[in-house]
Amino acid sequence: MPHISQTLDQLTADIAAAAQSCGRPANAVTLLAVSKRQPVSAMRDAHAAGQRHFGENYVQEAIDKREHLADLNMVWHFIGPIQSNKTRDIANAFDWVHSVDRDKIAERLSAQRDPALPALNVCVQVNLSDEDSKSGVALADAAQLCALVARLPNLALRGLMAIPAALDSEAEQRACFAPLRQEFDRLRETLPTLDTLSIGMSGDYGAAIAEGSTMVRIGTALFGARPS
Ligand SMILES: *Cc1c(COP(=O)(O)O)cnc(C)c1O
């Protein structure tokens, strides 16, 4: 394995090139390093190499890691499924939540966020694949949930997020992302704080950037396979 700083440099260059190749600025896409199940040493290495945004899926794992990494300036993103009994911890241990997919969760996060903290940045998760097992609101219901998030006092509506089913070709991946991008552009006309399209993982970030992603969530392609 090459050192993480080399992989990070390569990935950052790749993301910038993908943005430029579709006429977007080199810095249009933020890299969110998905560090679930990775050791804090790997996160420390990534931070030393310049990485600031980190994504976690499990609340307790993230809280433990924050304690070990308290000396570092990191932005913490929660990207996993949200159980309603975990909202208090999620509301206060993270800067961003990408996986808000129902009214009740949005309301609890706002009610439980410490009002002394800046507003919690929220992306509404949309289900693009219509699989029962995947979380996310239907695309047709995203506007209503976004409007609720925008009204809640301790939340800041920032974007839309999706995790589509794995598809092999870039053409299929783009076709899957395209309706989300259209809805994002439409919603921005009335919800001006929307500035984040959180799509793209290790296997589809090229397609996601071509479809307007502003934040790619990458784990394996940065840290290697996750320890089981
Ligand atoms: C694990 C995970 C990722 C990263 O997946 P990779 O394929 O390892 O890049 C991105 N987003 C979410 C929501 C995840 O759970």
Q: Please report the domains of the chain, with CATH numbers, ordered by start residue.
A: 4-219 (3.20.20.10)
Is 90 exceeded by the pLDDT of residue 169?
yes
C-alpha atoms less than 13 angstroms from C-alpha of 208 in its C-beta half-sphere: 29
Q: Containing H/E element for 176?
A: helix 170-188
- Looking at ligand 1, which residue's alpha carbon is closest to its atom 11? 217
Compute the Cα dihedral for 212, 132, 38, 40 and give only its sign.
positive
Q: Containing H/E element for 103?
A: helix 103-112
Which residues are paired to 215 by β-bridges? Answer: 30, 198
* Ligand 1 within 6 A of CB of 123: no
Percent share of the chain, pLDDT over 90:
94
* Ligand 1 within 6 A of CB of 215: no
Q: What is the pLDDT of residue 198?
A: 98
Report, as an integer, the average pLDDT of 121-149.
91
* Ligand 1 within 6 A of CB of 102: no
Report, as an integer, the average pLDDT of 98-117.
98
CA–CA gap between residue 42 and residue 19 (Å, rounded): 27
Q: What is the SS3 assignment for 50? A: coil
Mutate to test the pocket of ligand 1, among 77, 79, 98 (most ligand atoms within 8 A of CB): 79
Q: How confident is the model at residue 132 (pLDDT cuts 50, 70, 90)?
A: low
Report, as an integer, the average pLDDT of 129-155.
91
Is 90 exceeded by the pLDDT of residue 1?
no
* Tokens matching residue 163: 């995790």
Is 90 exceeded by the pLDDT of residue 133?
no
Q: What is the SS3 assignment for 129? A: coil
- Ligand 1 center from residue 116 Cα (angstroms): 31
Phi first, then psi, for residue 29 (nearest 5°) are -120, 125
Mutate to test the pocket of ligand 1, among 217, 222, 226 (most ligand atoms within 8 A of CB): 217
Average pLDDT taken over every residue of the chain: 96
CA–CA gap between residue 69 and residue 80 (Å, rounded): 20
2-6, 37-41, 53-57, 185-189: least confident range: 2-6
For residues 163 and 127, the answer to whether their CB atoms sit within 8 Å is: no
- Ligand 1 center from residue 117 Cα (angstroms): 27
| Per-residue pLDDT tens over the stretch 27-68 | 999 999 999 999 999 999 999 999 999 999 999 999 999 999
Q: How confident is the model at residue 129 (pLDDT cuts 50, 70, 90)?
A: confident
- Ligand 1 center from residue 38 Cα (angstroms): 12
Is 80 exceeded by the pLDDT of residue 134?
no
Report, as an integer, the average pLDDT of 136-150.
97
